[in-house]
Amino acid sequence: MDFSMGYTDQQEALRRQVREWLSVHAPRIKGSRDSEANYRLLRELGRQLGARGWLYPTAPVAYGGSGMSGDSAMIIARELAAYDLGLPPFPDSGGALAGQCIAMWGSEEQKSRILPQIIRGEAVTWQLATGPEGGSDFAATSTTARWDGEQYLINGVKTWVQGSHPAEFLWTIVRTGPEDARYQNLSWFMIPGDAPGITVRPMEIFQSEGQIGGQKNTVYLDDVPVSAANLIGGLNNGWRVAETFLALKHGMSGRPEARDLTP
C-alpha cells in the first residue's frame, strides 16, 4: 500500500521551486551550528526566505508573508528539513509566538511596524518568560514597569532565557498595577534588544554541543526605557495576552503551519 503524500499540481510546482532555490541558496553548515559564522549564514538564509515570503509563509502578504495554506508551508518545511534546517532556520520561538500575540492583541500600527520585521527575518525575539520568584507563573512576576511621564522604565530579572546571539526584541510580562490585583496588574511589552539597561549573563548549565541557540541566560533589566508604543494589548491587560501565548505554546508549538502570524 502506498502511503506517500500526493501533491496537487500547484503544490508539486511549489515543491520543485523550493527545492531548486534551496539547492543554490541553502548554506553548508560545518562545525558547531551555534558558531558566530554559522549563525550569520542562517540569519542571512532567513532574510532571503523572508524576502520571498517563505519564512512565515502563511502570514498575510501585507505583513511580509505569502498567505499560503498550512499544507504549502509544510512543503517548504520538508524541503528545508532535507538540509537539516527548520522553518525558520534560526531559533526564533519568541518571535513566532510573540508575533501571533501581536497579531491578535496589537494595534494596526504595532502590527504594521513589528510583524514585518519578524516575518521577513529581520528580527529575532527572546522570550523573557521565567523569573526567579515564580518560575513561569506570569501572575507571580516581580518584574515591574513604571511610567515616568514619557516612557515606561522596566526593572527585574528573568532566568532561563534561551539565546546565544543578540536579539532585536525581548518580550516579557511585567507588573504595572497593585501587587494584590493578581491577573489585573500585568502588561506585555516588546523591548528593543539594544535598549540601555539590559545585561545578559550566561547561566552555567550543561549544553548539548552544537545545539543552536541552546545557551541559557539570566537577563537583568535596570530602568530599561520602553515606549508606550511597545505595550501590546493595553495597560494591565497582559494576562489576556499571556493566555494567548500559553495556548499557542502548549497547543500548537512544533507545527510549522501553526506559526502563521495571522491576525
Q: Is the pLDDT of residue 71 over 60?
A: yes
Which candidate, 161, 152, 131, 126, places its Cα nearest to that of 143?
Answer: 131
Residues 6+ apart with CB under 8 A from 9: none
Angle ∠(129,149,178) on CA atoms, nearest 5: 50
Q: Scan for cell 501581536, then name that residue.
A: 102
Convert the pLDDT of each residue in 73-116 to its tens digit.
999 999 999 999 999 999 998 898 999 999 999 999 999 999 99
Confidence of residue 180 (pLDDT cuts 50, 70, 90): confident
| d(C-alpha 40, C-alpha 42), whole Å | 5
Bridging pattern class, strands 152-162 and 144-147: antiparallel
The per-residue pLDDT for 108 is 97
Is the predicted pLDDT of residue 257 greater than 80, yes or no? no
Distance of CA 69 to the CA centre of its chain: 20
Confidence of residue 3 (pLDDT cuts 50, 70, 90): very low
Distance (Å, whole) CA 165 – CA 170: 12
CA distance 193 to 205: 24
* Residues 260 and 219 sit within 8 Å (Cβ to Cβ): no
The conformation of residue 203, written as its DSSP 8-state character, comes to: -
What pLDDT does residue 252 have? Answer: 52
- Report residue 157's pLDDT band, with 50, 70 and 90 as the boundaries: very high
pLDDT score recorded for residue 253: 46
Dihedral sign for Cα atoms in the order 219, 198, 99, 202: negative
Mean pLDDT of 7-34: 93
Helix (H, G, I), strand (E, B), or coil: what is residue 256? Answer: helix
pLDDT, residue 2, reads 39
| Domains of the chain, CATH where assigned | 125-252 (2.40.110.10)
pLDDT at residue 137, as a whole number: 81
Give the pLDDT mean for 204-226: 79
